[in-house]
Amino acid sequence: MSQKVFFLSMLSINLLTTRKRIAIASFSLLFSGLLSAWLIGYLSTNAHTAILPNAPKQISAQEKLNNDSIPWQVLKLMKAYPNFVVGYSNGSIMFQDSTQMRFNDNRIKSSQELLDNADLEDMFHDPYLADSSVKIPDNDAGRMRNEAFFMKIYGQTKEEIRSNLTEIVWCPSLVNQRIMVNKNNGVSKQFIALSKELDQHPEFKKYISNIGGTFNYRKINGTNRLSMHSFGITIDINIAESNYWQWDCGCTNENGVNGFKNRIPIALVLIFEKHGFIWGGRWKHYDTMHFEYRPELFP
């Protein structure tokens, strides 16, 4: 009897244990299934909310290839000369009129060669730093220029450039001087905006009066390169308040530059720079009267 009871109880324990096991296993399976389903749902929902708003638009493989291979300097030129530089292909920038210009001649150049024979890439050789202090310049950022590029934008010949000029009144209240500037690429508009702002600063009157010159088709003294004054995109402010490396060294040899002198207040410089004009006072070959419209050199 006792043996039978023992056997039956053992059997029921075994049965109960098996049921329990099945129940636990089923519960575990159901729970982990529900958990996985919830987790997948949660992750995908959150992934969508996290990624979708910032997700880039679908671009084709070809577009991606083109964008990735455009050098940053070319993107700067496209932004600064939007009606002229419209693209980049096979190492050349593309102009609106379907002509092209080589971006990089891949030549290693001395500092003199960079000045005499700059390609488009060399124009960005030294970064132009428009900071709020005057420092002794150790490079010529913005002074390396590809002449053919600026001829393309502002005019190929003296006559063509002249036909692109317009007259504006420089600082009508403080100075009231008529100057000739280039209309192309919105330069005259920039000059008008600059002039309007400077007109609110009587404290700078002595610097911005007796303008030393804007348009003047000529070579840079001592070089074979066209002065940027040839394009009507530059302005020399009052010579009497300015310093120029050639006057101080009494030479025209670009290797002869030594030292640095400046009397132009930085607050005045910052107004010009705000409108896209670089300052010759930031060059090793300093020219503190000189401001030149070079929007590609600003961020």
Residues that bind Zn ion (CB under 5 A): 236, 290
Least CB distance from residue 256 to Zn ion, whole Å? 19
Least CB distance from residue 50 to Zn ion, whole Å? 53
Measured over the CA atoms of residue 69, residue 71, residue 72 and residue 74, the dihedral's sign is negative
In the complex, which residue's CB is closest to Zn ion? 290
Least CB distance from residue 287 to Zn ion, whole Å? 6
Least CB distance from residue 135 to Zn ion, whole Å? 20
Return the C-alpha torsion angle 177, 181, 185, 190, nearest 10: -20
Q: Residue 77: which of 88, 67, 68, 66 has the closest Cα?
A: 88
The contacts of residue 280 (CB under 8 Å, 6+ apart) are 286, 287, 288, 289, 290, 291, 292
Least CB distance from residue 211 to Zn ion, whole Å? 11
Least CB distance from residue 229 to Zn ion, whole Å? 6
Q: What are phi and psi of 93, to 5 degrees?
A: -85, 150
Q: Residue 91: which of 108, 113, 116, 74 has the closest Cα?
A: 74
Q: Which is nearer to Zn ion, 100 or 227 (CB)?
A: 227
Q: Which is nearer to Zn ion, 236 or 296 (CB)?
A: 236
Rounded Cα–Cα distance for residues 172 and 196 (Å): 8
Q: Residue 191: which of 178, 204, 173, 209 has the closest Cα?
A: 178
Q: Which is nearer to Zn ion, 93 or 118 (CB)?
A: 118
Q: Which is nearer to Zn ion, 282 or 290 (CB)?
A: 290
Q: Which is nearer to Zn ion, 84 or 231 (CB)?
A: 231
Q: Which is nearer to Zn ion, 73 or 230 (CB)?
A: 230
DSSP 257-282: -------S-HHHHHHHHHTTEEEGGG
